Every structure is written in C-alpha cells, then in structure tokens.
Amino acid sequence: MIVKMQKLTLFVSAYHKDDALNKLKKLGLVHIHNINPPVSEDITSIETELNNIEKSLSIIGLENIEKSDRSIDFNKIESLVGNIISLATKKDQLNNVLEEEKEKLNWFQIWGNVSMSEIEELKNTGIYLRLYVSDKSYLKRLPEDKLIYVVNKDKYKIYIALVSTEENSTLDLKEEIIPLDDFESVKDKIASTEKELSQINKKIGDLSKFRNDILAYQEKIKKRHEFANVKYGMGNVEPISYLQGFCPEESTDIIKKEADKESWGYVFEEPDNPSEVPTLIKNPGWIRIIDPIFKFMGTVPGYQEYDVSIWFLIFFSLFFGMLIGDAGYGTLFILLTILARKKFSSAPSEPFILMYVLSGATVLWGILSGTWFGSEAIAQLPLFKHLVIPGISSFNLSKHGFNDNQNIMMNLCFLIGATHLTVAHLSAAWKNRNSLKALSQIGWVAIVWGLYFLAGLLVLRHEFPAIAKWLMIAGITLAMLFTNPQKNILKGAASSLGSLPLDVISGFSDVVSYLRLFAVGYATVVVAYSFNNMAIGGGINNVFSGLIAAFILFLGHGLNILLCAMSIIVHGIRLNMLEFSSHLGMEWSGKEYKPFKE
C-alpha cells in the first residue's frame, strides 16, 4: 500500500535553525524538498572531502584487506585519507618513471650497450655515428657510397647504424634518438624505482586495514552533507527560515507535538504536485519479501501510481517456477539458500524467504511436469510418475504426445497472460472507480479476453467462439467512449479512436508474448536432457568415464542454471515490468521516501 502523504511547511527562527534541524533530524519523519538550490562553501568543502574519501577507498580496494585490531580516531581519518591519496599520486608518478626507464632498457636491448657519452667520444676523434630504423625493404636500396651496419632486425623492421667521417652525412630516414643515460644507470633506476614502488604498496596495504573506519567516517560526512543541503536549501525571510517536505499522514501528530513544544510554525496541506511527493510503501511481512527485487531493479512507483507488490510476488513466483521448471534445480536452490542463511545469519530475512518461495514454486512445477534434472528416468519412477499432470508433462509419460502437450502449454500461457493483464485493468478500474474511466478499463478486460480467443484461433487453430466477437465489440466500444470521457461523448470517442487500433494490436502482442514461459521452460528441459545424454547416454564403463561423465554433468547443469538465471531477468521480470505495467499505466516515475534523520 502506498502511504498517504502530507506536505509540510515548517517555520523556525533563522538564528536557531541549526538547533531546529537537529531536532527535526531526530524525529526522522520528513522527506525534505528544498526550496532553494543548496549552494555554499560548506557544501563544496564537504563534497570535496567526500570525493577524497571515495578516491581513497577505491585506492585501497577490497582485495586482501586485513581488518585492523584497533580503530582510529575520526579526527585523524582526514589525514589518513590525504596520506592514501598522496601515496597513490606518488605511485602513479613512479609507474610513469618505471615505464619510461623500461622503454630505455628495451632500446638498449635492441641497439646494444651504447651510450651518448661514447658517441660523443667518437665525434671527438672525427667519427660520426647515426642510428636509424626502417622497414626491411630498405635493405634492397642501401646506398653503396655509405658505410652502413645492420645492428638488429625483427619480423618487420631493421635497425641500422651509419658510420661516417663527415658530420653532415645522413640517410633519408628518421634518425633514432639516443638515450642520455647509459645502460647501467637505467638498470639501477629501474631497480630503485621498483623498490620504492614496493614500499609504497606496503604502506597502502597497511593503511587499507582501516577501511572500515574510513567507511564509518564516510557515513558521518554524508550526514553532514545531507544536513548542509537541508540548511542551505531553506527559504529565508529574516528573522524566519522555513523549509518544506513531505511526511506520512499518520506522523503529522508527532511533528505537531514537537513543533508546539519548540515554538515552530507549521502548515500541513494536501500535496499540490504529485511528481514532487516521495513514495512510501507499507505492506505485511509476507508481501515485503518481494522488495529485494524492486531494490535490485531500482524501481519505485510514483505517488499516484500503484503498489503492485502482491501481484508481482504472485505472478513472479509462477513465472520463476515455469521458466526454470525443474524440481531438481528447485531443491538445489533450497539447499543453497539454507546454507547461505546460516552463513549470513545477521542479514535481512526477506531475500532468503523470497528464495524459499521461488524455489518452492520451481519444485512444485517440476513435480507436476515430471522434470528432475532433465532426466526422463527419474520422472518415470513410481513416486514421481503419479504426481505428473499429463497435459504439462515435459516427457511423453501419458497418452498425450508432444504436440498435444505443446498446444496445452501454449494455451495455458495465453490463459496466464490474459489473467495477468485482466488483473492490471481491474486494478486500474478500481482506482478510477469514481470516474467514467473505470468503464474504459472494464472494456479493456473484455478486449483482453477477446484477444485470448483470437490467439487461440491464429496460433493454435482453436475455434473462435461467438462470445469472443461480442467481447471485442463491447470492449472496443467502452474503451473508445470512456478512455477520454468528455461532456460531448462523440468528441471524447473521436479523441480515443486514433490510438485504439494500435493499442489493440499491441494488446494481442502482449497476450502472445506470454508464450515465452513455455518456450524458455522447455528449452531448459532440452538443454538438461542433452547434457545427460552426452554424459551417460553411452553408459559408464570405468572410473575414467565416470569422472568425465561427472564433469560434463556438472558443467552442463551449471551452464543451464546460469541460463535460467538470465531468463528470469529477461523474461520473468519483463512480463511484470513491461506487459503488466503498461496495461496498468505504470511509469515507475517515483522517488523513494528518504526522511531527514540521524
């Protein structure tokens, strides 16, 4: 349920607004909506500090971090952060130096142990040496009147030296630059730089032990940043400062009591701009288990939209079970969830309970379809065989052939799709129950079921019943007349007529799109079945063949489970977030309710 909110305007003394904000923060009930853009030197300074903290955390990283056996004083962490950044800057500089010196070393490996000082000595004796690099084709056109030595060569290039007694003697090539340092000094520089880098890495490693202290300090600075944003986002008319925000309607009495106690002025009113209002959703515990999915997607319904948590939970569980559809995999998921819960016993319970529900749905569908690790032999065991519903069996365990099962499953998918979309339109009709628009949504319920029968006709060659035609006629009429109801009913119908044909076509596509539940679920069975045959189809005759079979089974089913996880995101979530939400009119345009609190 989306909690009803009230807009609050709070008036406090400009001279005591810091104290007022601290007391408001202790209440932790008001989601602040800034009146002015928060700009100040304080905010800039805090943001710079936050950037430095973030940079220091990225420098020390997450790998191979040992926790320090002592904490560090918050007053020293700013210096610690600066030290980490300084060390990282020095490390970057040394890495650049090391790269340059290694390039010089590579030069010496090509040209040999030659130095600028030696070349200068040759000049003093009247011998001039110039070095060049060219492609191998140059060997065919070497000037015969010049003394040229091929010093080195590789697959594509040659490295040549021109020796002459004439200072101006050159080749028509780009001359190689000779390092000023000699070979030994370059090696020494590389060794000393690597040693210094090792010392810096050790220092950074030692400082990384205080990562948890830095994270705690970061949270403290974030609170300061939030406080500064609220303070400098307030309106000011001396001697009064004022702020605006939103709070749950049920919390207004608490705020009024505190305001009366502190002599604050306040005005509560209905929000005049729903797009500014944050969304707070409160549901019973059994529905809240779906919240991790919404957090994973980062989606929040708008304040005037719908809380679809219960429908998302019900249908997502069904889709999860059908898309994976293997009782063996579901049992494995349950066991892994139990182990994970034991390891992370202090973590929130919702994700684990959700996994139990989703895994249970998978086990149930696998039992009913006779699917256990894609093995037909397991499905034929007496204990499991009698639990299979023939029409949805993954194997030919009954009088139903595959084609019959395929048609039954496809029709079931259309039925699930029509039901899902019907829930969407009935929810929209209930929300608009005091408006004629509700009749448009009822019309769309009729259209959806007409499209269900049309899908049966076009895809499955089922008979198109007479009632389906009347459902389509009645539904289109209601949708045309009441989608945009106006005093002039014909004018309203005309305004709806332009988009209605495309909406109906899109609705048909949406109903048919639920076939993905059958297609992906069947693909899961086929992949598992294929790997089983690959591993043990020819039998296991010795230990080596048994090990190979075990490896194939582990690899194959592991890959299949990974594909299943991807299909849940691509298909299971999509059917709720796209098809269902579009028929409901959801835009997921909301922002989460985040009260100003300690």
Between the alpha carbon of residue 23 and those of residues 9, 26, 28, 238, 581, the distances in Å are: 16, 5, 9, 21, 41
User: Would you say residue 177 has pLDDT above 90?
Assistant: no
Q: Average pLDDT, whole number, for the chain?
A: 90
Calpha distance 321→311 (Å, rounded):
15
pLDDT score of 401 = 45
pLDDT score of 403 = 53
Give domain status of residue 63, yes or no: no
Final residue in a domain of this structure, among 159, 178, 197: 178
pLDDT band at 141 (very low <50, low <70, confident <90, very high): confident
160 SS3 class: strand
Give domain status of residue 36, yes or no: no
Calpha distance 314→311 (Å, rounded):
5
311 and 429 share one domain? yes
562 SS3 class: helix
The total number of structural domains in the chain stands at 2
Q: Which domain, by its residues, includes 127?
A: 116-178
pLDDT score of 398 = 44
In this prediction, residues 145-169 reach a mean pLDDT of 89
What residue spans of 263-375 are helical by DSSP H?
285-288, 291-297, 309-324, 327-343, 350-369
- Cβ partners under 8 Å of residue 327, min gap 6: 362, 363, 364, 365, 366, 367, 371, 372
pLDDT score of 558 = 92
458 and 578 share one domain? yes
Beta bridge partners of 269: 7
Residue with tokens 């001359």: 175
User: Would you say residue 218 has pLDDT above 90?
Assistant: yes
Residue with tokens 């299979």: 388
User: Would you say residue 119 has pLDDT above 60?
Assistant: yes
315 and 454 share one domain? yes
Calpha distance 582→71 (Å, rounded):
52
pLDDT score of 154 = 87
Final residue in a domain of this structure, among 161, 178, 195: 178
Final residue in a domain of this structure, among 178, 193, 219: 178
Give domain status of residue 424, yes or no: yes
**Cα dihedral 425→426→427→429 (10° resolution):** 90
pLDDT band at 404 (very low <50, low <70, confident <90, very high): low
Calpha distance 354→287 (Å, rounded):
10
Max distance between CA atoms of the chain, in angstroms, equals: 111
User: Would you say residue 108 has pLDDT above 60?
Assistant: yes
Residues 393-403: tens digit of each pLDDT? 888 644 444 45
pLDDT score of 10 = 96
User: Would you say residue 74 has pLDDT above 90?
Assistant: no
458 and 341 share one domain? yes
In this prediction, residues 87-96 reach a mean pLDDT of 95
In this prediction, residues 9-31 reach a mean pLDDT of 94
Give domain status of residue 546, yes or no: yes
Work out whether the CA dihedral 70, 75, 76, 79 comes out positive or negative: positive
* Cα–Cα nearest to 256, from 492, 29, 19: 29
Give domain status of residue 32, yes or no: no
Give domain status of residue 278, yes or no: no
Instruction: Quickly count: other Cβ atoms within 10 Å of residue 542's Cβ.
Output: 8
Residues 525-559: tens digit of each pLDDT? 989 988 988 888 767 778 888 888 889 999 999 99
Give domain status of residue 525, yes or no: yes
Q: What percent of the chain has pLDDT over 70?
A: 95
pLDDT score of 198 = 95
Residue with tokens 């004018």: 491
pLDDT band at 598 (very low <50, low <70, confident <90, very high): confident
Give domain status of residue 323, yes or no: yes
Calpha distance 53→218 (Å, rounded):
7
Q: What percent of the chain has pLDDT over 90?
A: 67
532 and 387 share one domain? yes
363 and 478 share one domain? yes
- Segment of 66-70, 341-345, 380-384 carrying the highest mean pLDDT: 341-345
Residues 495-517: tens digit of each pLDDT? 677 788 999 999 999 999 999 99
- Cβ partners under 8 Å of residue 583, min gap 6: 421, 424, 425, 428, 444, 448, 507, 510
Q: Which of 88-97, 113-122, 243-252 has the lowest mean pLDDT?
A: 113-122
181 SS3 class: coil
Burial degree of 378 (CB within 10 A; 0-12, 13-18, 19+): middle
User: Would you say residue 492 has pLDDT above 60?
Assistant: yes
pLDDT score of 402 = 47
In this prediction, residues 552-572 reach a mean pLDDT of 91
Q: Is the peptide bond before 278 cis (omega within 30 degrees of 0)?
A: no
pLDDT score of 66 = 56
Residues 273-288: tens digit of each pLDDT? 999 999 999 999 999 9
pLDDT score of 227 = 95
The beta strands (E) that lie in 227-323 are given as: 235-237, 240-248, 265-269
pLDDT score of 65 = 54
